[in-house]
Amino acid sequence: MEITKDTLLGFYNTMVTIRKFEEKASELFAIGKIPGFVHLYIGEEAVATGVCANLETKDFITSTHRGHGHVIAKGGKVDLMMAELFGKVSGYCKGKGGSMHIADVDLGILGANGIVGAGQPIATGAAFACKYKKTDAVVICFFGDGASNRGTFHESLNMASIFKLPVVFVCENNMYGISVSQKYHMNISDVSDRAVAYGIPGVTVDGNDVIAIYEAAAEAIHRARKGDGPSLIECKTWRQKGHFEGDPQTYKSPEEQAEWIGKDPIPRLEKKLLSLGYVQKADLEKIKAEKAKMIETAVRFAETSPEPSPADVLTDVYAD
């Protein structure tokens, strides 16, 4: 599979947008401008980027509590996202969802979700609908290593397998469920081994290598789109921040943190772009400055947007 300069630069733009969004969210949370919980995706940007680069607008994703990267990679607008984090009426969900419940059905973003593992049956149901309606769309289900221990994971893979549904299960294995290391929360080292139990392909890829993820996802998405059913892709990665903003992270050793910072997916892609002669260092700086500016504009939009009215507290909460 030949990967063009434009494709690689597209990856870079998306990953830097996610990084800048997350860094700004961290800063704003620390000074009390963002209410509620914030779970950041810093260090994991290659996963959403590499997978979603294969998708079309008609395709769907389900996301998690750590969902900002998925939304951006699927085409979500950073100003509406930032306003949602601020709880403003101009946000994606009129400020009623917050960081963990951003959705944009028109873009196929079926929602971030505060309930671990809840996206798996939603993705399976959406894939059933795609097959039933013969829309040729596929569904990507993002979830963590912790979520692969939930019953929803096993039920969803089984159902998707027997019905040959067009869904790709993407496990973002950042090696922790909150403070609990994978070593303690499961008895296997590769989540992809779980695919065997459902008779579907399962692969493990380097989750900090956007190209490897793009290629693995391309194959699984092609398979799903042509009617051959689901796959499981495990991306081994690392969250550079705490589970949530404010987490003291006493469970991570400084050595493992340093090792993984050294594997940061963004400098890694920068090296690739530079070595191929596609960019100069100044071009990369320019992209970073552009994205930082775009996020500043989003923050201004969020800050200057009105607060929701208490009178609207129950509107859009229940479906008729």
The footprint of ligand TPP (CB under 6 A) covers 65-66, 114-117, 144-147, 174, 176-178, 243
Residue nearer to ligand TPP on the CB measure, 152 or 305? 152
Task: Report d(CA 110, CA 63) in Å as an integer.
Answer: 7
Residue nearer to ligand TPP on the CB measure, 92 or 238? 238
Smallest distance from Mg ion to CB 286, Å: 34
Smallest distance from ligand TPP to CB 100, Å: 9
Smallest distance from Mg ion to CB 177, Å: 5
Sheet-wide strand order for 139-144: 60-62, 139-144, 167-173, 231-236, 202-206
Query: 283 by DSSP, 3-state: which?
Result: helix
Task: Report d(CA 35, CA 144) in Å as an integer.
Answer: 24
Q: Which two tokens stand for residue 251?
A: 């469970």
Handedness of CA 239, 244, 246, 248 (dihedral sign): negative
Residue 147, contacted partner among ligand TPP, Mg ion, none, CB below 5-8 A by kind? ligand TPP
Residues 6+ apart with CB under 8 A from 299: 24, 28, 82
Residue 65, contacted partner among ligand TPP, Mg ion, none, CB below 5-8 A by kind? ligand TPP
Residue nearer to ligand TPP on the CB measure, 97 or 229? 97
Smallest distance from ligand TPP to CB 153, Å: 10
Task: Report d(CA 70, CA 39) in Å as an integer.
Answer: 13
Residue nearer to ligand TPP on the CB measure, 24 or 243? 243
Residue 39: CA count within 13 A, CB half-sphere? 20
Residue 178, contacted partner among Mg ion, ligand TPP, none, CB below 5-8 A by kind? ligand TPP
Chain CA centroid to CA 119, Å: 12
- The site for Mg ion (CB under 5 A) is made up of 144-146, 174, 176
Smallest distance from ligand TPP to CB 112, Å: 11
Residue nearer to ligand TPP on the CB measure, 178 or 276? 178
